[in-house]
Structure 1
Amino acid sequence: MIGRLRGIILEKQPPEVLIEVNGMGYEVAMPMTCFYELPDNGQETIIFTHFVVREDAQLLYGFNHKQERALFRELIKVNGVGPKLALAILSGMSAIEFVQAVEQGEIKTLVKLPGVGNKTAERLIVEMKDRLKRLGGDILSLNQHPNTPMMPLYGDTNAIESEAISALIALGYKPQEASKMISKLIRPDVDSETLIKEALKAAL
């Protein structure tokens, strides 16, 4: 089990990051809410990971805090929620926002997330309420930094738009839907991470 990585960021391709640890490169998928907080390429970072082994793949999911990983692990226990959907949920809203949505029974907010219909939203609220109690107040104690400076990725507008659309598709949005979301927000002075963040926020 790979539970923690400490290494140098080589590449950032939302929602994945490539981290070099002792000469080995690990590809790690992260919720966008965690991805935003990563330092620049070439900088050292520490992330907590969840390792998934399937017949056709071995996947690593990464988080900045143990509490976020704990929430992810509880999410994938919910009937109908796999790692990909859990990643999309925690990309569309922070861990704290998700906890608040569950505690307040905000089905309308949850169904705006890709892959979450009414039945899944209802299951999330019913099943996660008890699981969140077991996690205690750890999630709410997270020191979130929503305005953490992001690495500027200014450049070719078409490349930035394509990268943002690809990230949304990876998070579960349909290609046409992702393209429409980004086309409303694209502008010359925007970087890809900001574009993704704005699109996810607008979706809610």
Structure 2
Amino acid sequence: MIGYLEGRLMKKEKERILLLVNQVGFEILVPVVVMETLSAKAIGDEVSLYIYYHQTERQPKPVLIGFNLEAEKEFFQYFISVEAIGPLKAVKALNISVGDIAHAIESGDVKTLKRLSGIGDRTAHKIVASLQGKMNKFALIRHEKEGAMAPADEDFIQMVMDVLVSQLGYRTTDARQMIADAVEKNSTIASAEQLFDEIYRGQRQ
């Protein structure tokens, strides 16, 4: 199973790229929001992507789908769990940022979800019904990938810090401030899930 690839950009098309990794060229489907972040990349530049690997009896030819952040890949796996949304449809649908899509799901904003390519009113309602209540973490994703951080320890605050920085794309200083603000507002927080919820509420105020 392929979960991550790093190599040189050989070719860039509208919905896919060709990535040279150890003398092997991998054809990777890329959602619009990810392709936008690759717009400044030239042929020969280094590119690294988290990969969703798709292969079934109905789709025997392996399909690789690329994402900048591990959290974007995780969101994608939730997204394709919705009835009538398969991986290939989902790739075309992601034409606005994952953070904005996740926020729309949490707030029941069907109008925004209908802006997604190929998503009509019925499917938009299905997305909300299936995923609402599971998207707070993904609603915090920032569009640009920034920074890195040391691995988390057992403390849930440190774990949230790690997720904000290494998965969701926040700067370490920004993540630290977001956590501090959340804890100040709610001193009863006792788990990572509660902390994410409080951070999410704080960012939307």
Candidates 87, 92, 103, aligned match of 2:91: 87
TM-score by length of 2: 0.64
Task: Work out the CA distance in 2 between the residues paired with 1:76 and 1:145.
Answer: 23
Q: Secondary structure at the match of 1:130?
A: coil
Identity across matched positions, percent:
28
Q: In 1, are the aligned partners of 2:52 and 2:66 still within 8 Å (CA)?
A: yes
Task: Work out the CA distance in 2 between the residues paired with 1:45 and 1:71.
Answer: 21
Q: CA deviation at 1:41?
A: 1.4
Counterpart for residue 2 of structure 1: 2
Which amino acid in the other structure matches residue 3 of structure 2?
G
Which amino acid in the other structure matches residue 121 of structure 2?
N
Counterpart for residue 133 of structure 2: 130
Ranked by relative contact order (alpha carbons within 8 Å, sequence separation 6 or more), the top structure is 1
Mapped pair 1:111 → 2:110: no
Which amino acid in the other structure matches residue 14 of structure 2?
P
Task: Work out the CA distance in 2 between the residues paired with 1:87 and 1:41.
Answer: 23
Counterpart for residue 77 of structure 1: 81
Deviations along 1:141-199, whole A, 9 cap, x unmatched? Answer: 433239xxxxxxxxxxxxxxxxxxxxxxxxxxxxxxxxxxxxxxxxxxxxxxxxxxxxx
Counterpart for residue 15 of structure 2: 15
Q: CA deviation at 1:114?
A: 2.8
Counterpart for residue 103 of structure 2: 100
Which amino acid in the other structure matches residue 144 of structure 1?
H
Q: Which ranges in structure 1 are unaligned for 5 or more consecutive residues?
A: 147-204
Counterpart for residue 169 of structure 1: none
Which amino acid in the other structure matches residue 132 of structure 1?
M
**Measured at CA, do residues 142 and 106 of structure 1 come closer, stay the same or move farther in structure 2, by a change above 3 Å?**
closer
Q: In 1, are the aligned partners of 2:99 and 2:142 still within 8 Å (CA)?
A: no
Q: Secondary structure at the match of 2:73?
A: helix
Q: CA deviation at 1:140?
A: 3.6
Counterpart for residue 45 of structure 1: 47
Q: Secondary structure at the match of 1:142?
A: coil
Counterpart for residue 63 of structure 1: 67
Mapped pair 1:28 → 2:28: yes
Deviations along 1:54-111, whole A, 9 cap, x unmatched? Answer: 3442100000000100000111111111012211221x21101101211221212222
Counterpart for residue 156 of structure 2: none
Q: Which ranges in structure 2 are unaligned for 5 or more consecutive residues?
A: 146-205
Q: Secondary structure at the match of 2:42?
A: coil
Q: CA deviation at 1:130?
A: 3.1
Task: Work out the CA distance in 2 between the residues paired with 1:99 and 1:142.
Answer: 9
Q: CA deviation at 1:34?
A: 0.6
Task: Work out the CA distance in 2 between the residues paired with 1:52 and 1:121.
Answer: 23
Bigger Rg over Cα: 2
Task: Work out the CA distance in 2 between the residues paired with 1:74 and 1:60.
Answer: 17
**Measured at CA, do residues 111 and 140 of structure 1 come closer, stay the same or move farther in structure 2, by a change above 3 Å?**
closer
Q: CA deviation at 1:128?
A: 1.2
Task: Work out the CA distance in 2 between the residues paired with 1:15 and 1:8.
Answer: 17
Task: Work out the CA distance in 2 between the residues paired with 1:141 and 1:37.
Answer: 18
TM-score by length of 1: 0.64
